[in-house]
Structure 1
Amino acid sequence: MDGTKALYYGAVALVILIGISVVLSVISAIIGLATAVISGIVTLAVLVGIGYVAYKAGSWLLGDDDSASLDSIGTGSSSTSVDAGSSRQDRLRKQYVEGQISEAEFERRIGDELETEEIDDIDRELERER
């Protein structure tokens, strides 16, 4: 083998090694960047979770629940009475469907419920005006 061929093969081998080194460095940088991004997202999610748990624990310990604040404003009680009225109507519908009450009895009771709700609404309006 002559010296020029040896030099040629050596140069080719060196270029291939440098090319492989560059490709592996780029791949390593991409993997490192992806790992950093994923790590940042996971860290942010954990911090948000810890903050949420701390907020809920503080609210629970201090008694600052959302339903309590609604009751103190005065709107919580009206929504519960509306919910109670609709649940009574649901019970009447269920009794009618199951055949426990007649159609006439159902209509009478539903009418009573609707009148009661209208009176409750009027009372709430008068109380708000005061």
Structure 2
Amino acid sequence: MDGKQALYYAAIAIAVLIGVSIVVSVVSAILGLVSAIVSGIVSLAVLAGIVYVAYKAGSWLLGDDGGSTGSGSLDSIGSSSTSADTGTSRQDRLRQQYVEGQISEAEFERRIGEELETEEVDDIDRELERER
């Protein structure tokens, strides 16, 4: 084998090595990108799971049964539990029962009247306690 032919084979070998190196680098970059995307998706899924568990735990600790229409379940989160709040939630429950047809109109009116009377007595009791 003469020198020219050896140089030719060496050039081809170097070109093949460079080509293989480029292919390996591209495949590696693609795999790295796919790995980063999958890692991001998994991280977001885990974060969503943690947020969901925290929300459910908070709902459970605050006593929210999840069956409410959502109109006030978050409003009571920072408020103190006074009898006025309890009376309002009772009134809301009575309204819900009436709307769902669980109680009649007469029963609804009777129970709401009792709640309003109880609320007035509680207000008077609170005023007397403040004056002491």
Compute the TM-score of the two structures, normalised by the length of structure 1: 0.58
1:9 deviates by: 0.7
Instruction: State yes or no: 1:64 paired with 2:64.
Output: yes
Question: Match of 2:97?
Answer: 80
Q: Kindly indicate which of the two structures has a greater share of residues assigned to helix.
A: 1
Summarize the alignment of residues 16-95 of structure 1 with structure 2, pairs less than 5 Å apart: 16-66=16-66, 67=68, 69=72, 72=89, 74-84=91-101
Q: Distance in 2 between matches of 1:50 and 1:16?
A: 50
What are structure 1's unaligned runs of at least 5 residues? Answer: 86-115
Q: Distance in 2 between matches of 1:74 and 1:64?
A: 16
Q: Deviations over 1:21-61 (max 9, x none)?
A: 11110111111111111111111111111111111112101
**Mean CA deviation greater in 71-80 or 18-27:** 71-80
Percentage identity across aligned positions?
54
Matched length = 96
